[in-house]
């Protein structure tokens, strides 16, 4: 008995070992990438039309001493396996098959199935996985399954059920030519199933980083780990990643269906399964019925969904998105944001998203990694990065910011500190060293605006008279530039239709005198580097 096995695969058998599977399995097992493709012995599925088709589809691969084994095809998680010389049996949690699979029948009728000779250059892989989150519909039945000898593809990419893995980048550096630093000492760990965005201005190295993860670029130093395995030296075609290109990179000479099926073809998936999976994924991206069209006959948004379908249909270990939304118009972009995020969540794929659009990064990601000049400036959940930027660069890059440089004077009796900005004295909450020069950040939406006579302004710990220098209407909000000192211009954002009457009946106009006010807690001290 081998089991419970953790990772198991028979890789390639040498001619001398050309023996029944059972014997082959008694050899040493090697840990490989997560993959399991197996055949479930399923009389009820065979009785159905679909099952019959799948059997005829694959009968050439699987014979049992010239006797055909009734099989249907599915995928799932093996959690136990044993080897009794001639027989290899595993316990599998069934996940992909239709409900017509009757597991009890399976156990009764097919426990004594043998596998025939496994042809040379064929192999199969199996892996257990305790993570059950991904099984759709809470399908928990245990099925007796047999491993199907899976055609061992030249490129060796696995095609398994989506099992989120972690991606780790260790101290990666990459230079182009002499002295042009693209990525410098970049380290990041992306948790299984997490969506992390790499955010930064153009030329900050985010796309280079993505290409390194995909394998299209080699790092000069550092390593890329997928699920704890170092794949730095693996070529892209063995990495099992799905990539969505900015240009979509759809094959123009292939139909939508052929585009989507391409990755499956490379994995030698059976024709029937290919059809089913392509159909399913096109449904998932709401493109049913476009399968026979060519990419140029589709709109930009549709093309992008095809590219997404092509990337996820292979159930990759990691999904890489390179500015996927930048070629779409604003409305469609918003829609696709939600759609991509939703699909990513459903599939639970570890995803790395490259963008220069901070809004995109904030709305879609579990974690935002702000990059500048090839380095990580800050990594954190979207609110964290927005509220507590660790550097001036991050404060500037994400959202609108009022940033003031001045010095900290000392404590006030209210437990706050006093900050000198030219002639103004601001109350701030955080406490850097006294007399230290520092920068503070005040987000425009934290500032309130009152007409000068309004007494409510006095209730704020910071309140200053000022003059509106510019006002512009943005739809949901109004942007103001208020001068509160000769050198201090404050950016303020107000809701254009306010429910409370902070600014009721007052349409801000250029030249108006106002009082701007904010609490000490609204300001953040940005640590100087």
Which residues sit at the interface with other proteins, rule CB under 8 A? 153-155, 157, 214-216, 235-243, 245, 247-253, 262-263, 266-267, 294-297, 303, 310, 314
Taking the least distance from each CB to other proteins, the nearer of 92 and 244 is 244
Beta carbon nearer to other proteins, 240 or 512: 240
Task: State residue 68 phi and psi, 5-degree precision.
Answer: -75, 135
Residue closer to other proteins by CB (options 145, 231) is 231
Smallest distance from other proteins to CB 343, Å = 18
- As measured in angstroms, the least distance from the Cβ of 324 to other proteins is 13
Measured from the CB atom, the residue of 198 and 408 that comes closer to other proteins is 198
The interaxial angle of helices 300-312 and 271-284, nearest 10 deg, is: 130
**With respect to other proteins, which residue has the nearer C-beta, 132 or 154?**
154
Least distance in angstroms from the C-beta of 148 to other proteins: 19
Residue 307 or 449: which CB sits closer to other proteins?
307
How many other CB atoms are there within 10 angstroms of residue 328's CB atom?
A: 18
By C-alpha distance, which of 195, 323, 317, 222 is closest to 263?
Answer: 317
The least CB distance from residue 302 to other proteins, in Å, is: 11
Place of tokens 């009757």: 102
Whichever of 226 and 248 has its CB closer to other proteins, that residue is 248
In this structure, what token pair is assigned to residue 289? 């019925």
Helices (H), 132-255: 206-214
- Residue 266 in 3-state DSSP? helix
| Choice between 14 and 296, CB closer to other proteins | 296
> Between residues 123 and 466, which has the closer beta carbon with respect to other proteins?
123
85: Cβ contacts below 8 Å, ≥ 6 apart: 22, 23
Residue 480 CB coordination number (10 Å): 24
Alpha carbon distance 494, 447 (integer Å): 8
H, E, C per residue of 19-38: CEHHHHHCCCCCCCCCCCCE
Residue 208 CB, nearest distance to other proteins (Å)?
Answer: 13
Shortest distance, position 33 Cβ to other proteins, whole Å: 12
Closest separation between CB of residue 262 and other proteins, Å? Answer: 5
Distance of CA 313 to the CA centre of its chain: 15
Which residue shows structure tokens 């399976």?
106
Say if residues 417 and 428 touch (Cβ distance below 8 Å).
yes
Query: From the CB of 264, what's the least distance to other proteins, in Å?
Result: 9
- Hey, what are 299's tokens? 């709109």
CB of 175 to other proteins, least distance (A): 15
Distances (CA, A) of 157 to 70, 90, 184, 241, 281: 28, 23, 30, 10, 20
Q: How far apart are CA 330 and CA 337, in angstroms?
A: 11
């Amino acid at each position: 008995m081998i089991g419970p096995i953790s990772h198991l695969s028979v890789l390639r058998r040498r001619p001398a070992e050309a023996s029944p599977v059972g014997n082959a399995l008694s050899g040493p097992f090697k840990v490989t990438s997560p993959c399991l493709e197996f055949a479930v012995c399923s009389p009820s599925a065979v009785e159905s039309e679909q099952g019959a088709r799948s059997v005829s589809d694959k009968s050439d691969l699987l014979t049992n001493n010239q006797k055909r084994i009734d099989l249907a095809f599915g995928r799932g998680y093996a959690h136990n396996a044993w080897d009794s010389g001639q027989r290899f049996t595993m316990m599998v949690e069934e996940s992909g098959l239709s409900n017509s699979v009757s597991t009890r029948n399976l156990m009764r009728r097919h426990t004594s199935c043998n596998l025939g000779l496994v042809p040379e250059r064929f192999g199969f892989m199996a892996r257990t996985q305790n993570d059950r989150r991904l099984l759709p519909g809470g399908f928990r039945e245990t099925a007796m399954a047999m491993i199907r000898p899976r055609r061992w593809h030249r490129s060796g990419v696995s095609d398994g059920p989506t099992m989120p893995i972690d991606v780790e980048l260790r101290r990666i550096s990459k230079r182009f030519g002499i002295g042009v630093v693209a990525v410098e000492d970049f380290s990041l760990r992306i948790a299984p199933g997490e969506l992390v965005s790499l955010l930064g201005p153009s030329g900050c190295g985010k796309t280079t980083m993505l290409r390194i993860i995909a394998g299209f670029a080699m790092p000069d130093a550092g390593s890329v780990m997928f699920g704890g395995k170092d794949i730095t030296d693996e070529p892209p075609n063995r990495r099992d990643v799905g990539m969505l290109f900015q240009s979509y990179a759809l094959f123009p000479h292939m139909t939508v269906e052929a585009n989507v099926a391409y990755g499956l073809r490379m994995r030698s998936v059976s024709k029937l399964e290919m059809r089913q999976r392509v159909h399913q994924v096109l449904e998932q991206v709401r493109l049913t019925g476009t399968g026979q069209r060519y990419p140029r006959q589709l709109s930009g948004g549709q093309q992008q969904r095809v590219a997404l379908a092509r990337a996820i249909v292979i159930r990759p270990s990691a999904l890489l998105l390179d500015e996927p939304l930048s070629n779409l118009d604003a409305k469609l972009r918003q829609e696709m944001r939600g759609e991509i995020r939703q699909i990513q969540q459903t599939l639970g794929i570890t995803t790395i998203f490259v963008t220069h659009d901070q809004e995109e990064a904030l709305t879609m990601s579990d974690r935002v990694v702000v990059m500048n000049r090839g380095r990580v400036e800050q990594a954190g959940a979207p609110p964290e990065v927005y509220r507590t930027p660790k550097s001036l660069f991050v404060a500037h890059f994400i959202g609108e910011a009022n940033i003031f440089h001045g010095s900290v004077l000392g404590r006030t009796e209210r437990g706050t500190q006093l900050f000198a900005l030219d002639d103004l004295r601001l109350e701030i909450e955080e406490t850097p060293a006294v007399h230290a020069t520092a920068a503070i950040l005040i987000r425009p939406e934290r500032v309130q605006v009152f007409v000068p006579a309004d007494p409510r302004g006095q209730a704020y710990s910071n309140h200053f008279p000022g003059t509106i220098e510019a006002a512009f209407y943005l739809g949901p909000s109004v942007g103001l530039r208020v001068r509160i000192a000769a050198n201090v211009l404050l950016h303020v954002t107000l809701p254009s239709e306010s429910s409370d009457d902070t600014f009721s009946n007052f349409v801000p106009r250029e030249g108006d005198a106002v009082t701007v006010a904010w609490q000490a807690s609204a300001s953040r001290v940005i640590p100087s580097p």
